[in-house]
Structure 1
Amino acid sequence: MLKIILIDDHQLFLYGVSQILPLHIPNLEIFGCCSVSKAQQIIAEHGDVDLILVDLDMPDVGGLAFLSKNFQSGDVHPVAVLSASQDINIIQQVLQIGSLGFIPKTLGSADLVNAVQSILDGHIFVPADIKQQIDAIPEEDEQAFADITPRQLEVLALLSQGLSNCKIAESMFISEHTVKSHVKQLFQKLEADNRLACVTKAKDLGLLR
């Protein structure tokens, strides 16, 4: 029996996907969760989960934070993103962190099923149009992504929202000391001497919206 955890706070979407996938993928059991915390409880109970599908915009814990925590833990689970985001930089971050794919919520039911099945079959799924946009990122922006780690990109995204080090630490499940270290490295890599300058430079490089 295949097991998929679907994390999304939109109840209608959660219900719809939970109904569609088992109709087309044999021997599939779906665990629908409206929060990351609920999903973590299920993960603890079902360690043999085959795939976790998570929305980026969750009310309790951000999807990027969940991805980072998963891939930096000792017990890594297969995770892909199912999101309405159109931000190519966010999608780039998602794939760099280690996501097995990016599935737009705009896909029709047949394409959604094919995307999930492709990931279950061991492939990385990215729609062709999104892959073209990623491939078209200027070389200097690619270098910026290479120099800054996925973890630092996540800190950068939270910095741009005006969050304090304390709030960033809470969101990312790390210590405030670690956040300060990341911020310091971001300042150095982006040649900035304060948070505003750091965020402004990141936007100029295309690292942020």
Structure 2
Amino acid sequence: MSVNKLVIVDDHPIVVQGLSTLIQAEEDLHIAGTFTTGNAFLSFLKEAERIDIVLLDITLPDINGVEVCKEIKKLSPDTKVLIISNHSERSIIMQMLQHGASGYLLKNASSEELVRCVHDVLAGRIALSAEVTAIMTRPLQNELKDIPHLTKREIQVLNMIAAGRTSASIADELCVSQFTVETHRRNLMQKFDASNTAALIKMAAEQKLL
């Protein structure tokens, strides 16, 4: 039976200890090292003969996990990366997978899920814990909403708001009262169900209306 060399990179000693205990119970896995900073691990990786898989946290004290993941794939393309994180945002999960991670699980995953994900990644599969799979398969909020119907004037006002224009300057350019512009602004917020201007601009951009 071939033994896979594994490294743990996490700045929480209790997490490292817990992961180490789980991994040590697996006969086909050998812990080649544990690190609490990204740079210390990358220095080790440059000299290491072979590392099969890295269990990597995203939040490290010295360097972002995204950068560590990119460096791993540069220094040792065959080394698999399994992210173990508290970050449950879909955008972060996507970012890590796009930068070469082969799997992603949250720190509240069960020990069985962890072991399964490690073996799946080593077998060349993409491994996601159940909760991460649920996050990835949920439709995005803006996918659930129909694109609101806007009048030509509302589109005009929306683009000016996105450009950072004030209601007064928009009113001057369109030759309407400031009250009319404020009414358009309120209607836009209502149509997009936006709580503030930043949210309005973000949603309009997501719907490709800007």
- Equivalent residue in structure 2 for 1:79, among 81, 94, 100: 81
**Per-residue deviation, 1:204:** 6.2
Paired with 1:29 and 1:132, the residues of 2 have a C-alpha distance of 30
1:3 deviates by 0.8
The residue aligned with 1:101 is 103
Match of 1:130 among 129, 132, 150: 132
Higher relative contact order (CA 8 A, sep 6+): 1
Deviation at 1:138, TM superposition (A): 4.8
Distance in 2 between residues matched to 1:139 and 1:103, nearest whole Å: 22
Match for 1:113: what amino acid? V
Matches within 5 A, 1:37-56: 37-56=39-58
Contact 2:52 2:122 in 1 (8 A): yes
CA contact (8 A) 1:36 1:60 kept: yes
Paired with 2:85 and 2:204, the residues of 1 have a C-alpha distance of 22
1:67 alignment counterpart: 69
Q: What is the match of residue 19 of structure 2?
A: 17
> What are structure 2's unaligned runs of at least 5 residues?
144-197
Q: State, as a whole percentage, how many aligned pairs show the same letter.
A: 22
SS at match of 1:24: coil
Q: Report the structure number with the largest CA radius of gyration.
A: 2
Change (3 A) 1:39 1:111: same
Distance in 1 between residues matched to 2:76 and 2:113, nearest whole Å: 30
- Please give the alpha-carbon distance, in whole angstroms, between the structure 2 residues aligned to 1:108 and 1:119: 17
Deviations 1:96-117 (A, max 9, x none): 2221000211112222111112
Conserved 8 A contact 2:81-2:101: yes
Q: CA deviation at 1:33?
A: 0.5
Residue of structure 2 equivalent to 1:116: 118
How do residues 126-165 of structure 1 correspond to structure 2 at under 5 angstroms?
Answer: 126-138=128-140
Q: What letter matches 2:5 in structure 1?
A: K
What is the aligned length? Answer: 148
Offset, 1:25: 3.8
Alignment correspondent of 2:5:
3
What pairs with 1:128-207 in structure 2 (closer than 5 Å)?
A: 128-138=130-140, 201=202, 205=206
Contact 1:18 1:30 in 2 (8 A): no
Distance 1:18 1:94 in 2: 23
